């Protein structure tokens, strides 16, 4: 039995929200103002028939849209979609009572996502590679992906051959594929460690397909070429499974904001530095101390430091900033600081930064909620939010990257 509803607004997760006799319900793939018949179940709805479409509805860019759960907002006209995504940041931070200036959303183009995490499995009909259906564990096999770089999409069939050799039975596992300057870097996880015979077959296939590297949950299986990424002028050997910003365009935009904000600082610190995304760009103007919890990332920075000239001094340190945040007294030598933690944010570290004398801070997050919490700590500690910039690094999804620039007299 279906129910007629009117979509009142867009939820933070990218679903339309409609009022029903049982309360508010979430309607995936709908838009504000639309009238539809839906099937209701446990506070969620399935779109059965669209009765009155929104004038903002457009044709999706991908044939798999609504079937594949990788994107949820391809059907929304650009300007309305960008206004909504910007509002996610505004509403979250404004709810904290901050005074701040919010820039327009920095857009990212289709076909720029350089890392894809595919759900894969083997089947009686061959290897299946794609993404899980929206709010489901059902795997949708894909032939295209308009958000992902062509260097990956063009190799989908080659990747399926790799999946067939990796095996894993009918159980789904993951294949993370990153496009680098040296070729595709591939990480398999959840399929069981390959035995000697399988390693031999995988090695032969990787060499035949000219992939740069294949690893299994951090262990390198075969590496014909070291995967290289460039952070500014510096080539860096990306660690197996190492962090990388989703798109190069977003990385460049964020880096420009960070380096511009910290430009006058002679000594800076990069917390949660990864393999040097911001570190090496900052080092073009200031000495940088990079701090990261993953040893492989620290090692990657150390190798790059030894072979690059023309930068200010760069030092790297391994440290778990969740358990041992940099203390306020340790931050005394630094005039500029950037921190880019995981989605959980950096509450303990923010408390120490708030007590410090660092005059310029750049806070970066892919989660406006935890960013709001961390900014609240900094503001209470005397920092002023100079500027907030939302960046659409995760195109056609409800996720958004945010750069907040702060200062303290």
pLDDT exceeds 70 at position 62: yes
Q: Which residue has the higher pLDDT, 143 or 309?
A: 143
Q: For position 211, which CATH number holds?
A: 2.40.50.1070
Tokens 């620290």 belong to: 298
The answer to the question of residue 234 being in a domain is no
Q: Where are the beta strands (DSSP E) in 183-297?
A: 183-189, 213-216, 219-222, 228-231, 234-237, 267-271, 287-292
Q: Percentage of residues in the chain with pLDDT exceeding 70?
A: 99
Q: Are residues 210 and 255 both part of a single domain?
A: no
What's the rounded Cα separation, in Å, for the pair 223 and 129? 23
User: Could you tell me if 182 and 235 are in contact, meaning their C-beta atoms sit under 8 angstroms apart?
Assistant: no
Domain boundary among 198, 228, 258: 228
Q: Are residues 270 and 201 both part of a single domain?
A: no
The residues near 268 (Cβ < 8 Å, ≥ 6 apart) are: 262, 282, 286, 287, 288, 289, 334, 335, 336, 337, 338
pLDDT exceeds 90 at position 169: no
What's the rounded Cα separation, in Å, for the pair 338 and 364? 8
The answer to the question of residue 75 being in a domain is no
Q: Are residues 259 and 214 both part of a single domain?
A: no
Closest CA relative to residue 61, chosen from 47, 77, 85: 77
pTM for the predicted model, two decimal places: 0.94
Tokens 């009918």 belong to: 170
Distances (CA, A) of 71 to 85, 111, 160, 184, 407: 14, 13, 22, 23, 36
Domain boundary among 57, 74, 96: 57
Q: Residue range 378-382: average pLDDT?
A: 97
- Give the model's pLDDT for residue 225: 97
Among the listed residues 62, 71, 145, 366, the single catalytic one is 366
Closest CA relative to residue 17, chosen from 130, 2, 38, 195: 38
- Give the model's pLDDT for residue 134: 85
pLDDT category at 44 given cuts 50, 70, 90 is confident
Taking only the tens place, the pLDDT of each residue in 78-130 is 999 999 999 999 999 999 999 999 999 999 999 999 999 999 999 888 899 99
Q: Are residues 196 and 176 both part of a single domain?
A: yes
Q: Are residues 216 and 289 both part of a single domain?
A: no
- Give the model's pLDDT for residue 69: 86
Tallying the residues shown for the chain, one arrives at 409
The answer to the question of residue 37 being in a domain is yes
Per the prediction, the chain carries an average pLDDT of 95
Q: For position 29, which CATH number holds?
A: 2.40.50.140
Closest CA relative to residue 281, chosen from 295, 297, 261: 261
Q: Are residues 146 and 253 both part of a single domain?
A: no
What's the rounded Cα separation, in Å, for the pair 26 and 127? 34
What's the rounded Cα separation, in Å, for the pair 289 and 268? 6
What's the rounded Cα separation, in Å, for the pair 345 and 370? 5
What's the rounded Cα separation, in Å, for the pair 136 and 157? 24
Question: For the sheet containing 213-216, what is the strand order?
Answer: 139-141, 126-132, 115-123, 173-180, 183-189, 213-216, 219-222
Domain boundary among 228, 257, 274: 228
Q: Residue range 14-20: average pLDDT?
A: 93
For this structure, is 71 an active site residue?
no
Give the DSSP H/E element, type plus range, for residue 47.
strand 44-52
Q: Are residues 263 and 352 both part of a single domain?
A: yes
pLDDT category at 308 given cuts 50, 70, 90 is confident
The answer to the question of residue 98 being in a domain is yes
- Give the model's pLDDT for residue 168: 66
Q: Are residues 364 and 289 both part of a single domain?
A: yes
**Number of domains into which the chain is organized:** 3
Q: Are residues 356 and 212 both part of a single domain?
A: no
Here the tokens at position 72 are: 């949820």
Taking only the tens place, the pLDDT of each residue in 150-162 is 999 999 999 999 9
User: Could you tell me if 217 and 186 are in contact, meaning their C-beta atoms sit under 8 angstroms apart?
Assistant: no
What's the rounded Cα separation, in Å, for the pair 158 and 160? 5
The answer to the question of residue 137 being in a domain is yes
pLDDT category at 18 given cuts 50, 70, 90 is very high
The answer to the question of residue 67 being in a domain is no
- Residues pairing with 189 in the sheet: 174
Q: Are residues 259 and 151 both part of a single domain?
A: no
Q: What is the DSSP letter of 148?
A: B
Which domain does 26 fall in, by range? 3-57
pLDDT category at 315 given cuts 50, 70, 90 is very high
The answer to the question of residue 64 being in a domain is no
Q: Are residues 384 and 252 both part of a single domain?
A: yes
Q: Are residues 256 and 380 both part of a single domain?
A: yes
- Give the model's pLDDT for residue 167: 85
* Strand pairing report for 173-180 and 115-123: antiparallel
What's the rounded Cα separation, in Å, for the pair 168 and 266? 52
Q: For position 350, which CATH number holds?
A: 3.40.50.150
Residues at the binding site are 245, 272, 292, 340
Residues at the binding site for S-adenosyl-L-methionine are 245, 272, 292, 340
pLDDT exceeds 90 at position 328: yes
pLDDT exceeds 80 at position 1: no
What's the rounded Cα separation, in Å, for the pair 100 and 91? 12
The answer to the question of residue 382 being in a domain is yes
pLDDT exceeds 70 at position 218: yes
Closest CA relative to residue 391, chosen from 111, 88, 115: 88
């Amino acid at each position: 039995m279906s129910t007629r509803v009117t979509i009142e607004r867009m939820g933070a997760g990218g679903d339309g929200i409609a009022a029903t006799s049982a309360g508010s319900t979430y309607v995936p793939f709908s838009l504000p103002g639309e009238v539809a018949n839906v099937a209701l179940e446990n506070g969620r709805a399935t779109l059965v028939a669209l009765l009155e479409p929104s004038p903002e509805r457009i044709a999706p860019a991908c044939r798999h849209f609504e079937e594949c759960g990788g994107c949820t907002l391809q059907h929304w006209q650009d300007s309305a979609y960008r206004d909504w995504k910007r509002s996610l940041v505004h509403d979250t931070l404004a709810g904290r009572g901050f005074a701040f200036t919010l820039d327009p959303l920095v857009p990212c183009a289709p076909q720029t996502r350089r890392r894809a995490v595919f759900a894969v499995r083997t089947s009686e009909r061959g290897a299946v590679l794609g993404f899980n259906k929206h709010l489901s564990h059902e795997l949708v096999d894909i032939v295209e992906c308009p958000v992902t770089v062509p260097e990956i999409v063009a190799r989908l069939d080659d990747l399926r051959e790799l999946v067939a050799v990796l095996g894993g039975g009918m159980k789904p596992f993951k294949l993370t594929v990153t496009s680098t300057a040296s070729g595709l870097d591939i990480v398999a996880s959840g399929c069981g460690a390959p035995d000697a015979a399988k390693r031999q077959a995988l090695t032969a296939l990787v060499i035949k397909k000219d992939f740069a590297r294949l690893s299994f949950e951090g262990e390198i299986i075969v590496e014909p070429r070291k995967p290289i990424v460039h952070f500014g002028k510096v080539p860096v050997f990306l660690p197996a499974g190492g962090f990388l910003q989703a798109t190069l365009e977003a990385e460049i935009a964020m880096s420009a904001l960070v380096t511009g904000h910290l430009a006058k600082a002679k000594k800076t610190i990069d917390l949660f530095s990864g393999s040097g995304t911001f570190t090496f760009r900052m080092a073009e103007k200031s000495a940088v101390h990079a701090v990261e919890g993953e040893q492989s990332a620290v090692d990657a920075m150390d190798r790059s430091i030894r072979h690059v000239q023309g930068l200010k001094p760069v030092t790297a340190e391994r440290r778990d900033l969740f358990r041992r945040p940099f203390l306020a007294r340790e931050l005394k030598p630094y005039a500029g600081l950037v921190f880019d933690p995981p989605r959980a944010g950096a509450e303990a570290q923010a408390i120490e930064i708030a007590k410090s004398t660092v005059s310029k801070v750049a806070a970066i997050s892919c989660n406006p909620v935890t960013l709001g919490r961390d900014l609240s700590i900094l503001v209470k500690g005397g920092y002023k939010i100079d500027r907030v910039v939302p960046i659409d690094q995760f195109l056609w999804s409800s996720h958004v990257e945010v750069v907040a620039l702060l200062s303290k007299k």
